Amino acid sequence: DATGITQTSGILVHLDSAGTVITGAGRIFLSDHTGATGTTAILNEFASAANDETEIVKITASAALAAGKVLNLSAAALTTGNVLDITYTGTTGSAINITDSTGADANSMIDLNQTTADVTAQTYLIRGSYTDDGQALADFLLFEDNATNAKFSVSAEGATVIAGVAEGTAALTLTAGDIVVTDGDVTVSGGNIIRSVQAAVTADVGSVQGGSPMTADIMEISVSANAGDAVTLPAAVAGATAIITNHGAASADVFPASGDAINEAAADAAKALGVNASIICYAYDTTNWECLTLAR
């Protein structure tokens, strides 16, 4: 019992082991509560009344530790409790602060893994919540570079800001899927909407539906050697648009995709596109294109 000791320097309790090999069952210190119940008991507690920059608990690994663990928390049977519970009322500090000084290693400062083969209930790898609502200064995420330059943020109201590198450099890239707006507007206050272009297309010889299919928003026909050489619109999707310009030597035929129609004509029927003319099409449902022809 060391109660009442007024420690100022030195070590009050010292456990020392010089063993070169400690097996998986070996321990320098073991606190083992074998009782089946503990209600709200605290089995081990470190407390301090210090009001300076005291470190209450410090764990220091050796410089040779490469593949071990500095702190291992195991609570496989825990279902409704918390493995690590932090209560914090700081002002400018952080509840958790991780500092990594390595720059050449392929590592992660935080690595989250859910190893269940089949997730059958709503699960979050990261979840953040505010009790208050509608606060302008409440953000969910903030990432900075150069210490203070905000690059990516998500506010509590869902407003997301990405500070990209420069115009013409991608700040957000989708490799699959769609961007869906169910309410609200898409507003472009600066810059341009750059559409995909399929240029230098040779129209398919023989006026055949399916020939030279359109794979971008804008198609430029550079070769249409014979009247009726063909290109083909993509399958109609309500709201889709397509622009085709014919720079070939002869009129080209623009076909809809199989089963679709242009300007309420018969299904699968083509529309002629003259030399140096353009056609602007929009789909108003899943089978019909409305196409307007523009001449120079």
Q: What is the mean pLDDT of residues 105-120?
A: 88
What are 14-57's pLDDT values in tens digits? 888 887 777 778 888 888 888 877 677 888 888 888 888 888 89
Q: Where are the domains of the chain?
A: 132-175, 197-295
Which residue, among 283, 289, 232, 287, has the nearest Cα to 259 in the 3D structure?
Answer: 287
Highest-scoring range by mean pLDDT, 93-97, 119-123, 236-240: 236-240
Query: Any bridge partners for residue 246, and if so which?
Result: 221
- Is a pLDDT exceeding 80 seen at residue 181? yes
Q: Which residues pair with 247 in a beta bridge?
A: none
Identify the pLDDT of residue 204: 96
Task: Please give the CATH superfamily to which domain 197-295 belongs.
Answer: gp9 (2.60.120.640)
Inform me whether the pLDDT recorded for 1 exceeds 80: no
* Most confident among 133-137, 162-166, 207-211, 262-266 (mean pLDDT): 262-266
Task: Count Cβ neighbours within 10 Å for each residue of 259-287 and write b for 16 or more, e otherwise.
Answer: ebebeeeeeeebbebbbebbbebbbeeee
Mean pLDDT score, 185-194: 90
| d(C-alpha 269, C-alpha 288), whole Å | 12
Please, which pLDDT band fits residue 199 given cuts at 50, 70 and 90?
very high
Residues 189-209, mean pLDDT to the nearest whole number: 93
The predicted structure's pLDDT at residue 38: 64
DSSP letter for 213, please.
B
Quick: pLDDT tens for 218-239: 999 999 999 999 999 999 999 9
List the strands of the sheet with 218-223, edge to edge: 197-202, 218-223, 241-246, 277-283, 288-295, 261-262
Contact indicator for 257, 264 with CB cutoff of 8 Å: no
Most confident of 72-76, 142-146, 257-261: 257-261
- Structure tokens that stand for 20 in this block: 């070169």
